[in-house]
Amino acid sequence: METFKVILPATDYVAVLPQIVLVATALIVLMMGVFKRLVNGSAVGCTALAGSIIAFVCTLFIGHHGRPSSAFAGMVLHDGFSFFLTGVICIIIILTILVSMNYGKFFESIRSGEYYSLVLFAGAGMVFMAVAGNLILLFVALETMSIAIYALTGFHKDQLKSGEAAFKYFLLGAFGSAFLLFGFAFVYGATGSLDIVKIAGFIKTHPRILNLKFLVAGFVLMISGFGFKISMVPFHMWTPDTYEGAPTSITGFMATGVKAAAFAALIRAILVPLAPMQHSWVPIMWVATFLTMTVGNIIALAQENIKRMLAYSSIAHAGYILLGFVAGTGLAQAGMLYYLLVYAFMNIGAFAVVALLCKKGEEFNNISDFAGLGFKYPVIGLVMSVFLFSLAGLPPTGGFMGKFYLFTEALRSGYVWLVLAAGVNSVVSIYYYLRVIVTMYFKPEPEGNAVVISSISPGIVIALAAAATAVLVLGIFPSYFFSLAGNSIFSLM
Amino acid sequence: MNHFSFPILSTLIFFPLVCAVLLMFIRSEGGENDELLRKIALVASIVEFLISLPLLKYFNDATAGMQFVEFVPWVKSFSLNYFVGIDGISLWLVMLTTFFVPLCVLCSWTYIQKKTKYFLISMLFLETAMIGAFVSLDLVVFYVFWELMLIPMFLLIGVWGGERRIYSAVKFFLYTAAGSIFMLVAIIYLYYLSYKTTGVGTFNLLELYKLHIPIAAQLWLCAAFTIAFAIKVPLFPLHTWLPDAHVEAPTAGSVILAAILLKMGTYGFLRFSMPLFPYASHEFMPVIAFLAIAGIIYGALVAWAQPDMKKLVAYSSVSHLGYVVLGLFALNIQGIEGGIYQMLNHGVNTGALFLLVGMIYERRHTRQMDDFGGLAKVMPIFAIFLMIATLGSVAVPGTNSFVGEILILVGAFRTYPICGVFAVSGMVFGVVYMLWMYQKVMFGPVTVEANRKLPDLNRREIVTMLPIAVLVFVMGVFPGMFLHKMDSSVRYFIDQYQSKYEMYQAEKTGNGLASRLHGYKVANCDARFQGGVDTPGR
């Protein structure tokens, strides 16, 4: 046990500056919510937006100085990996808030201070998950994020579906957390430390520990716990119901932010420190990856509700990202990071368009509601097509480059069949993404009850334009971002 | 290799894209600017054609290597490069593309009435993708353009198509995408192989030509590429998307599909799967030749049975493309040159047929042969053009197809005589169903009242058809002009193919010389390639 220094050096605080900004903003927003009469509705959203942008700027400003370091006695790791994922999560928060500000025009509750403060708290939790160097901090961060998200899922207080979604997510999530905690305990028992770097060091110096059942059990439980969060098959059951019931803005947030944070934790806590165990997890993870892709894509084929469809598609995407986990090399890790970045833009973008199709207190979530939209609102149709083509992995979008990166690295590690399976899956997925495009462009607008987009705020325009541009830039000029991801991998030197 | 400093190929690729983006900014709600939009698109596509003309002028036909090359690093970490260039094989296909797009814009002048703006944007976007696919020499760049072609074509069929357009569009998309995903995996695997052998992976096609690929891997990789290209060609029995897509697509879509997109598949065989995997290609040769023959005969027989003119032309495409594949896989100079020439001929003739069918459909809104008869008297100019296209299509001496088919048959007889015999029977069927159609539609008494007052082709339509009609004869009478440009590239191709095949063959039989031979051949080919010297034919 190290002696705890009461006065910490300022650099430690600089390392967590984005989180400090996020939490501070969350508190301010919460207070603004209390004094509802004094501040008008949109000010809350704007404050939250400003806070998240400041956090993003802080991240860029602090950057990473090449050499990894740690703060708070190894609790927080400050390296390229932290930088990259903090950046991605901040982008996700910013986009989510922009989407929410428009979405809130249709729903009273989304306008409140609690909503935005919960988003920010969840965001802070995600960032802490990405930077945690200690399993305890990792767990606390995960819970911070999860509890905030449980509450956000049930934010449509007047809709039964939303409550059901939140309850389901909460129950299963609690199970997942329990598994995870159990796993941490086993790992602690096996290695005598909760510090990720020390765990890795211990395993390196005591290779015989790899055969210890404790460690294997710890690994399996941890995988199950994280599996819940990334909706890996067979822990995916909650995903469609939760994604469908949650407010659309939150669905996008969950699908990207939670996934990014959970994958970050997966890399931090398992992929790198437990790397010597790789040969024993590859068979399990091979099957899990295959199933995650396949189950997600095949069930998505049959969905009529676009949120459910995107939920299943997000399961499938988790499968593609897991390819990198199976491959296990540093470059594969970079591929995962790159994919998470692309996925953030394309998925939030798609959900942002879905969130536009609302009227007061009601959402239009059927794929058939998109009929004729493409020519009625050409720009929205275009950006939605960009997002969907990117999700389907067609060039010249970021989705293609992300898949290309992951496939290449998985092949380099020799997983030819898994890559082939992923390829077949991509083709299957094209069908259901194409269905939305077919509905948007080829089906005539329905007579009478045509869906109208009644509110397009400047915020959502910026969000959609930025996301679509990012998806295209990531697809056409990926070079810089490839090397950024390549420089941001987490390794133990 | 070439000191042409102006990036002409990039200009060709991206000029239509820039124009398409410009069109987006023109307001066209309710179609008030449609006329302007059409004019801009027409001018843009004609300018594009004019830009492509210097290619012909400055193309050095003594060189087998790539010309007008541009090389820009794209993604350093994967050594992806934006690498484009053309040789005698792709030169004419690029020309064919730039030649046909203006005609397609012209033929849609009145045919496309709704959402004209988006139609024109798709058209120009498609042109970008097609030219990009023909000129790219980096496998990933090629794949990007290859997939990019799908989206505008999908929209062309789905938005402006006929009754079953959605079904056809989705079928077209899924078929092609399914084929190409295997190609993508194969491309990545090739990268991995080159990474394993040299330590630096590459997607550069010219580098990969030199790569030694183990025979077992070769068979799989070749299969993956072959499936992608066979779907695109389409080779029997993967052709089922084609009639659907053709029949439902608007005229311009059918023309582009027949004239250019299908050539993508045969071009792919020639540029990618054959030179990359000579041994595997050789192994697959009997199967592919058989399928090509099956396609020739099957396509012809089914075409014969069609009451719908457009369907007839669509199935005739299956038959004609069978010839092209047969020629390519005959693997001698006649067969391959004939195959390439026939690609162009098929583009010109079938393009013309689709245009004409579209014109008559626009007048009568039917394509059933039974609804016509005696049109020769009512529409004499139309009759002349249809005659020219029909004669071209059935390979009458003096027309373009005659040259192509004769070359293919000579090539096929040299390699596998039996196939040649069957292929000739396909030619006979071709004459039967084409002339049958012509007779039914054009001759006899006018039976349907509505046909009596059909207006003949107007000036715009004549302008559309005239260049094609002229080309049919020019290509038939002066084939040397065209073949000459591709000679050295084709000879070099065959030479390379043979030497690499022998090398693998030696390796397969366990010949101790194999490795030495390998070193010698590669060095030899390399020197030839660098020098760009015309290699003597075999």
Cα gap B435→B395, rounded to integer Å? 12
Least Cα separation, residue A386 to chain B (angstroms):
11
Is residue A427 domain-resident?
yes
Question: Percent of chain A scored above 90 by pLDDT?
Answer: 54
A244 found inside a domain = yes
Q: Do B177 and A395 touch (CB under 8 A)?
A: no
- In the predicted model, what is the mean pLDDT of residues B242-269? 90
Å from A239 to nearest chain B CA? 28
pLDDT digits (tens, 9 = 90+) for A345-389: 999 999 999 988 887 777 888 888 888 888 888 889 999 999 999
Residue B537 has what pLDDT? 36
Lowest mean pLDDT among A124-128, A470-474, B35-39: B35-39
Interface of B with A in 181-200 (CB under 8 A): 181-182, 184-185, 188-189, 191-192, 195
Predicted pLDDT at A378: 86
- Among the partner residues A395, A424, A486, nearest to B148 by beta-carbon distance: A395
Q: How many beta-carbon contacts under 8 Å exist across A and B? A: 83
Interchain contact B157–A (C-beta under 8 A): no
Check if the beta carbon of residue A56 is closer than 8 Å to that of residue A86. no
Q: Which of A62-71, A302-311, B222-231, B295-304 has the lowest mean pLDDT?
A: A62-71
Structure tokens at A396: 């010249």
- The ipTM of this complex is 0.90
Rounded Cα distance between B259 and B337, Å, is 18
pLDDT of residue A349: 94
A389–chain B Cβ distance below 8 A for any pair: yes
Q: What is the pLDDT of residues A227-272, one digit of tens each?
A: 999 999 889 889 999 999 999 999 999 999 999 999 999 999 998 8
B28 touches chain A (CB under 8 A): no
Collect all residues of chain B within an 8 Å Cβ-Cβ radius of residue A478.
Answer: 75
- CA gap B339, B263 in Å, rounded: 10
Cβ–Cβ < 8 Å for B108, B501: no
> What is the mean pLDDT of the segment spanning B86-94?
89
Chain B nearest CA to A212, separation (Å): 36
Of A134-143, B137-146, B431-440, least confident by mean pLDDT is B431-440
Residue B166 forms contact with A (CB below 8 Å): yes
What are the chain B neighbours of A443 within 8 Å (beta carbons)?
166
- Cβ contacts of B436 within 8 Å, gap of 6 or more: B304
| CA–CA min distance B436, chain A (Å) | 36
Contacts of B188 in chain A (CB under 8 A): 404, 407-408, 411, 419
Among all chains, which residue has been given the structure tokens 């098929």? B346
The H or E element containing residue B436 is: helix B417-442
What is the per-residue pLDDT for B210? 85
* pLDDT value for A297: 93
| Cβ–Cβ below 8 Å for B185 and A411 | yes
CB contact under 8 A, A423 and B166: no
SS (H, E, C) A340-404: HHHHHHHHHHHHHHHHHCEECCEECCEHHHHCCHHHHCHHHHHHHHHHHHHHHCCCCCHHHHHHH
Smallest CA–CA distance, residue B186 to chain A, in Å, is: 9
Residue B531 has pLDDT above 60, yes or no: no
Contact, B20 vs B125, CB < 8 A?
yes
* Chain A CB contacts of B184 below 8 Å: 404, 407, 423
Q: How confident is the model at residue A43 (pLDDT cuts 50, 70, 90)?
A: confident
Q: Residue B258 above 50 pLDDT?
A: yes
Instruction: Grade residue B522 by pLDDT with cuts at 50, 70 and 90.
Output: very low
Least confident range from A437-451, B111-125, B357-371: namely A437-451
Residue B364 pLDDT > 70: yes
B408-418 residue pLDDT tens: 888 888 888 88
Whole-angstrom CA distances from B230 to B3, B299, B352 are 36, 15, 24
Cα-Cα end-to-end distance for chain B = 24
The 8-class DSSP code of residue A192 comes to: S
Q: 3-state DSSP call for residue A77?
A: strand
Q: What is the pTM of this model?
A: 0.90
Provide the residue range defining the domain that includes A119: 12-487
**Hey, which residues 410-429 in chain A have their CB within 8 Å of chain B?**
411-412, 416, 419-420, 423-424, 426-427
Whether B174 contacts chain A with CB within 8 A: yes
The answer to whether the CB atoms of B147 and A395 lie below 8 A apart is yes
Question: Per residue in B448-505, pLDDT tens?
Answer: 787 788 888 888 888 888 999 999 999 888 888 888 888 888 888 888 888 888 888 8
- To the nearest whole number, what is the mean pLDDT of chain B? 85
A404 contacts in chain B (CB < 8 Å): 140, 184, 188
Q: Do B166 and A404 touch (CB under 8 A)?
A: no
- Please state, for a pLDDT cut of 70, what percent of chain B lies above it: 93
Answer yes or no: do B74 and A407 touch at CB < 8 A.
no
Domain assignment present for A493: no
Q: Tell me: the pLDDT tens digits for B497-517?
A: 888 888 888 887 775 454 444
pLDDT at B524 exceeding the cut of 70: no
Please check the confidence at residue A216 and state whether its pLDDT lies above 90.
Answer: no
A122-133 residue pLDDT tens? 999 999 999 999
Percent of chain B at pLDDT exceeding 90? 18
Judge whether residue B535 has pLDDT over 70: no
**Contact indicator for B106, B463 with CB cutoff of 8 Å:** yes
Six-digit token string for B73: 């690093």
Q: What is the structure's pLDDT at B490? A: 87
| Model pLDDT for residues A417-469, shown as the tens digit of each residue | 999 999 999 999 999 999 999 888 888 887 776 677 777 888 889 999 999 99
pLDDT per residue as tens digits for the range A71-109 = 888 888 888 899 999 999 999 999 999 999 888 888 877
A489's tokens: 């991998």
Q: Which of A262, A332, A324, A252 is nearest to A293 (CA)?
A: A324
CB contacts, 8 Å: A427 with chain B: 174, 177-178, 181
pLDDT one-digit tens code per residue, A1-27:
455 556 667 778 888 899 999 999 999
Q: What is the pLDDT of residue A289?
A: 94
Residue A185: per-residue pLDDT: 93
Q: Which residue of B has its CA nearest to A415?
A: B189
Asked whether the beta carbons of residue B185 and residue A419 sit closer than 8 angstroms, the reply is yes
Q: Which of A411, A427, A443 sits opposite B192 (nearest CB)?
A: A411
Chain A contacts of B155, Cβ < 8 Å?
Answer: 441
DSSP calls for B349-364: HHHHHHHHHHHHHHHH
pLDDT of residue A421: 93
Could you please report the per-residue DSSP string of B184-222?
HHHHHHHHHHHHHHHSS---BHHHHHT----HHHHHHHH
Among B77, B165, B192, beta carbon nearest to A442: B165
Q: Does A330 touch chain B (CB under 8 A)?
A: no
Q: Among the ranges A106-115, A340-349, A478-487, B193-202, which has the highest mean pLDDT value?
A: A340-349
Query: In this predicted structure, what is the pLDDT of residue A109?
Result: 76
Domain count across chain A: 1
Can you give the pLDDT at residue B511? 57
Of A375, A423, A430, nearest to B185 by CB-CB distance is: A423
- Cα–Cα distances in Å, from A93 out to A348, A349, B119? 10, 13, 38
Q: CB B513: neighbour CB atoms within 10 A?
A: 11
Candidate from A33-42, A305-314, A323-332, B500-509 with smallest mean pLDDT? A33-42
Residue B536 has pLDDT above 70, yes or no: no
Predicted confidence at residue B398, as pLDDT, reads 86
Asked whether the predicted pLDDT for residue A58 surpasses 70, the reply is yes
